Structure 1
Amino acid sequence: MKEKLYTIPVNDAFDSDCECPICIMRKTLENNAVEFTMGPSYMDDDVRAETDKTGFCNYHLGKLYENNNRLGLALMLKTHMDKTIKDLESLSAKKGKGPSLFKKSSEVTPVKEYTDTLKNSCYICNKIENMFSLYIVTFYYLYENDSAFRDKFKASKGLCTEHYGLLFQSADKHLSAEKAENFREELNKVYFDNMKRVREDLEWFIDKFDYRYVNEPWKNSKDALPRAMIKTNSAFEADK
C-alpha cells in the first residue's frame, strides 16, 4: 500500500525495534507538542489564549523547562498567571446565599471548581490526545487495508499493558464484529507471547544474582528490567 502522510508515523513506530510501538507514537507526539509550544508559536495570539486558559500539567511543565527557552516559558506563565488572578479575583468576590458562602455548605464553590479544572488541564496533553486519537484510527485503517502492516503488527515485539487494553477495547469501534474478533485473537497472541518473553528474560535477570548462575551467560536479560517496566507501566520506551 502506498504510504500517505498520516500513515507514516504509525508505520514508523511499528518499524522501530521497541517493546511498544504505541508508546513510541505517543512520545513522538509529545516531543512535537513541546517543540511546537516552545517554538515561535508561543507568540501566536491563538496559542497564547489557549495556554493562558489551560496552563500545563506538572509533567509537561517540566518538559517545557528542559527545552531551555526560558524566556518563552516565562512569557506564557506570566500571561497565564494574569488570567488566573483576574478570574479568581472575580470568582472569590462573589457573594453567597445566607450569612456565609462557605459555612456548612457541601456545594463546590466556583473558586474550587475553577482550580480543580485548572489542575486537570494541560495544553500539551490536549495536543497529544487530539492527534493520538487520529493515530489510533490510522492504526485500524492500516490493519484492515494493508496486509504488509498487518504482518508487521503480528511480527512486532508486542505492546505495553495499557495500550494492549486500549486496542482490545477500541476494536469494536473501528472494525466489524467478525474482524474485531479476529483482531483480538491476533492482538492476544502478540501481547501475551511478548509479555511472556520479557517475563522470562526478567526471571533470568533475577537468577543471575544467584551465585549458582554467576558464570552463566546473560542471554537476553541484561536490559530485562527497563523492558519489563515498559511492558507493565509504559515507562522508559519514550525516553530511549
Structure 2
Amino acid sequence: MKETICTIPINDIFMPKDGCPICRMEKMLEEQYVRFVTGDAMMEPNIRIETNKKGFCHRHFSQMFESGQKLPNALILESHLQEIIDNFMPKKLKGKPDKKQLEGIKTELDSCYVCDRIEWDMRHFMATVFVEWAKGEEFRKLYNKQPFICLKHYSFIMETATGKGGMPSKHLADFHAETAALTKNYLESLKGDITHFCSMFDYRNKGQEWGSSKDSIERSIEFLTGEKP
C-alpha cells in the first residue's frame, strides 16, 4: 500500500498484528487527546468553550489527572464548574425544580469531549480503512492477517461500514464475511480455551497440560470489552 498522510497511521496500526487493531487505534487517539487537552488545548479558546460545555467522563478525567499536570486540570475544572453553575443551578434557592436544568445536568453527565473526538476520528480512520481495503489485495491481506477483531469493534466496524460513507456496496458482503471470520474464528478458539481451563479443575484431568488456556480469562475480557484486565 502506497503511504500517504492518510494511510501512514493505518499502516502503523495494522502492521503489528498483535491483538485487535481497532483497539490500538482507539488507544492511540485516547492518549493523544488526553495529552492535547492538558497541553496545547489550554491556549485554544474554541476548544476551551467545548470542554467547558461537554466536560469529561470519569475515565478521561482520571487519565487527565494521572498525567501529573495539576495546573491545567485545575484551570479546566475552574471554567467547567462555572459553566455548570451558570447553566444548571437555580438562580434562587427556592421554588420548584427547573426541569430544563435537570435535563441539562443529565445530558452533561453523559457527555465527554475526549470521547466525542475519539469517535469522530475513528469514523474517519475507518473511512480510510474502507478505501484501502477496496483498492486491492495489499491492505486486504494485511487486514486478514490480524489475530482478531474484538466484539466491541466488530460491532463498530460493521455499523460504520453499512452507514453513510462506509464500504461501497459491491464490496460490503466480502468485507463483512472477512471481518466476521476474524471475530468468529477467534471467539470459537477462545471458547475452547475457556472450556479447557474449566476442565482442568476436574480431578480427573490432574496432570494434563493447560496449553493456551492459561490466560484465557484475561483474553476473554479483552475480547469482550476491548481492554485488557
Relative to the length of structure 2, the TM-score reads: 0.88
- For 1:8, the equivalent position in structure 2 comes to 8
Which residues of structure 1 form unaligned runs of 5+? 95-99, 103-107
The 3-state SS of whatever aligns with 2:6 is helix
Relative to the length of structure 1, the TM-score reads: 0.84
Instruction: String of CA shifts for 1:193-223, please: whole Å, max 9, x gaps.
Output: 1111222222222233334434233322222
Return the structure number with greater relative CO, CA threshold 8 A, min gap 6.
1
1:124 is aligned to 2:102: no
1:165 is aligned to 2:155: yes
- Measure how far apart 1:2 and its partner are: 0.9
1:64-143 aligned at under 5 Å gives the runs 64-89=64-89, 92-93=90-91, 101-102=96-97, 109-143=99-133
Verify the 8 A CA contact 2:149 2:179 in the aligned structure 1.
Answer: no
Change (3 A) 1:162 1:216: same
Q: Distance in 2 between matches of 1:88 and 1:186?
A: 48
Q: Distance in 2 between matches of 1:28 and 1:195?
A: 25
- Measure how far apart 1:170 and its partner are: 3.1
Percent identity of the aligned residues?
A: 29
- For 1:222, the equivalent position in structure 2 comes to 214
- Measure how far apart 1:101 and its partner are: 4.8
Instruction: String of CA shifts for 1:108-160, please: whole Å, max 9, x gaps.
Output: 71211221121111111122112111111111111111422111122211211
Instruction: String of CA shifts for 1:29-56, please: whole Å, max 9, x gaps.
Output: 1011101111232233222222111111
Verify the 8 A CA contact 2:6 2:128 in the aligned structure 1.
Answer: yes
AA at the equivalent of 1:42 = M
CA RMSD of aligned residues (A): 2.1
Change (3 A) 1:146 1:5: farther
State which structure, 1 or 2, has the greater radius of gyration over its C-alpha atoms: 1
The 3-state SS of whatever aligns with 1:139 is helix
1:189 to 181, 189, 195: 181
- Measure how far apart 1:62 and its partner are: 0.9
Verify the 8 A CA contact 2:53 2:80 in the aligned structure 1.
Answer: yes
Q: Aligned pair count?
A: 225
Change (3 A) 1:13 1:213: farther
